[in-house]
Amino acid sequence: MRNALEALSSSKQAWTKAILEELALPEDILHESNRPIAQRAAAEEKPPKSDIPPAKRKPIVPLVVCGILGICILAGGLLWLNRKHASPEPAAMTEALQEQTETAAEPEETTAPGSTTEETLPAATEAESTAAVLLSNVDCTYEIAEDGITITGISGQTPSEVILPEELENLPVTRIGNGAFQSNTSLKKVTLPSGILVIGEKAFSGCTRLQSISFPDGLTEISASAFENCSNLSSVLLPESVHAIGPWAFSNCKKLLSITIPGSASDLGEWAFSGCSSLSELTFSPGITTISNYLFYNCQGLKAVTIPDGVITIGIGAFSGCTALSEVTLPESMRTLSSEAFQGTALESISVPSACSLGSNAVPLGCKIYSTR
């Protein structure tokens, strides 16, 4: 509004100046209307000198009045236009006020200076969590074989708990090589890959601090001396997929408390569990046909053994040296009880099927043998 009035004033002055120049009159004539009547009368009595001839003079008062009226009309029009555009309609004002109220009601999300806005991520699924837990924590040395990767060892320092990788170079890890971790005294716990098929000879032999190892389903072979002299190994759960346990595989695992021989283990190597002096619980799953020579030699913690139906042969010295063994149950399927099979045990009597042949010194001296039909 102020700008409009200033513009109007400037226009008025310019227009007035133009009229005066046209009439060749002095500018102070505009102030004539503001002078007292007496002064104007005196002035009229003494008309100013002018070089313009009387015939060419134009009437001044009507022109000035018309100019002032025009200026007033122009100013009024400008004021009316300014008010019309500056003042919104009531409905528009109500809508604008409502929008301002709603905006003020919504809380603004502010971020403290120096802080960052964090995006909420969805919770990990159970499968993702499991995968994260099973990621390998060691750098392995390995070889590429026909059926996958064979791990041959660990490069660098070995942690006490080792999780071996599921795959390397986009190939599954299927074997633990011969002697891969032999005599590694740092190991306490080992998690094997789910695709492991074979544990090589002496793979963990002499790992005297090893306490537990998990065998995956699908493991088929535990080779000779694989865990021999693991004197602190106390827990072993063999999967039903195992069909071969090599000689001395768990020999001298002195803290091993229990073992279940899976029915799939058709090839049990000699001395495989010999010297497991703390072994007190022995279970055979159906399917076993032969108990190998010296298989449980000197397992001094054994007190009772039930041989499952289907077993045909108990090998030489299979339970010899089991000094606490005082109870043995043999199945009707037995055909051969080899020499010294139970020599050095605490047996006082035993029932043997009539079709079973006994080797020399199969039972300790003084043990009564009863024949069953």
Res 57: pLDDT: 52
SS3 (DSSP) at 67: helix
Res 31: pLDDT: 53
DSSP β-bridge partners for residue 167: 172
Query: Once rounded to an integer, what is the mean pLDDT over residues 214-240?
Result: 96
Run of H or E residues at 72:
helix 61-86
- Render pLDDT for 19-41 as a digit per residue (tens, 0 to 9): 556 555 555 555 554 455 445 54
Task: For residue 162, name the pLDDT band (cuts at 50, 70, 90).
Answer: very high
Angle of helix 61-86 relative to helix 2-23, nearest 10 degrees, comes to 160
DSSP H helix total and E strand total for the chain:
5, 21
End-to-end CA distance of the chain: 127
Average pLDDT, the chain: 79
How many other C-beta atoms are found inside a 10 Å radius of the C-beta of residue 212?
Answer: 15
Handedness of CA 117, 123, 127, 131 (dihedral sign): positive
- Render pLDDT for 331-352 as a digit per residue (tens, 0 to 9): 999 999 999 999 999 999 999 9
User: Does 168 score more than 60 pLDDT?
Assistant: yes
Q: Residue 120 has what DSSP assignment?
A: P
Whole-angstrom distance, CA of residue 7 vs CA of residue 335: 129
Handedness of CA 44, 49, 51, 53 (dihedral sign): positive
Longest dimension (CA), the chain: 174
Q: What is the CA radius of gyration of the chain?
A: 56
Query: Once rounded to an integer, what is the mean pLDDT over residues 235-256?
Result: 96
pTM equals: 0.64
| Beta strand 313-314 pairing with 336-337 | parallel
Whole-angstrom distance, CA of residue 192 vs CA of residue 136: 10
CA-closest candidate to residue 315, choices 251, 272, 260: 272
